[in-house]
Amino acid sequence: MAQDPYIPAGAGGLSVPIADRSELSIFPRLSSYSQIVAKLQWEPMAIDLAPDAEAWSGLADEHRRRLTTLLAGFRVAEDSVAEHLTPFADRAEHVDTMMMWIFFLQRRDEDRHARFFDRVAAEVLRLPGDTPAERREAAREHVPAGFLELFEERLPAVAAELAAGSTGILDGVRLYHMVLEGAVFTAGQRALLGELADGALPGVRKGVENVERDERWHVGFGVRCLTEAGDPDALLDDVLARATDAAGAWGDVVPADTREYAVNLCRRRLTIAGLGDALPAA
């Protein structure tokens, strides 16, 4: 098993079967996250997008279309996940102050991601609009309806239920961290990095690589939240089916094998964490 190099080894968890503890270095204890996050800081405003802006109009039409959908999708989605993480931290405050602090650290990452993709929308895609809100509106035009539904209806609905106290934090984590970040973002990031592999847009690629690294700890934190819960079997019955559906929301810009990769990674993370018993076979 490849280990994320920035995550300290040796993390454990008593809620996980002994046989699986050797793999737990990818799911650190809650107390380790501050160190992890400290190593991952980056500044979205410092990335040079000038070469990308210059290269954009010279890309082949189909290549540019796929990149536009993917980058516009992240422009919309990162705004949404930044906004709707707030009730998670508020609810966690009543459960565990360490968890609340990690949600706060995650929120800072999501703000950073939203600012990066807004810069890409303005400077590279040159979407119309003088403000982030206007550019978000312009980005929506390039994104499939099912994708918008996930981030503009389903996530806000769960966040509102969390804020109202009518749903538990683990329901939120299953949607936010496992389905949206674990499947939809992982699939989209992999597809994007494939599109960017030719090096034509070096600044965009650098930013997406940074975002992808951040999102890995976010998903790992989500898994950790679920393992801390104590009764995981009752919580995970349909998460992979929902993840599979959701990964399809990108439409034709994310190939089937990339969607499968993302869902299988989700499955593997849950299984390694000892949460796989209730999951359907691969």
Distance of alpha carbon 1 from its chain centroid, rounded? 21
Residue 68 CB, nearest approach to Fe ion (Å): 19
Residue 215 CB, nearest approach to Fe ion (Å): 5
Other beta carbons within 10 angstroms of residue 249's beta carbon come to: 24
Residue 136 CB, nearest approach to Fe ion (Å): 15
Give how far Cα 282 sits from Cα of 10, 186, 188, 255, Å: 28, 18, 21, 19
d(CA 170, CA 189): 25
User: Of 81, 73, 243, nearest to 156 (Cα)?
Assistant: 81
Q: Which is nearer to Fe ion, 53 or 155 (CB)?
A: 155
Q: Which is nearer to Fe ion, 27 or 200 (CB)?
A: 27
Q: Which is nearer to Fe ion, 76 or 127 (CB)?
A: 76
Residue 86 CB, nearest approach to Fe ion (Å): 14
Residue 58 CB, nearest approach to Fe ion (Å): 29
Residues that bind Fe ion in the complex, under the rule CB under 5 A: 78, 110, 113, 181, 215, 218
Residue pair 170/225 in contact (Cβ under 8 Å)? The answer is yes
Q: Which is nearer to Fe ion, 200 or 262 (CB)?
A: 262
Extract the tokens encoding 70. Answer: 């993917």
φ, ψ of residue 250 to 5 degrees: the values are -70, -15
Residue pair 28/11 in contact (Cβ under 8 Å)? The answer is yes
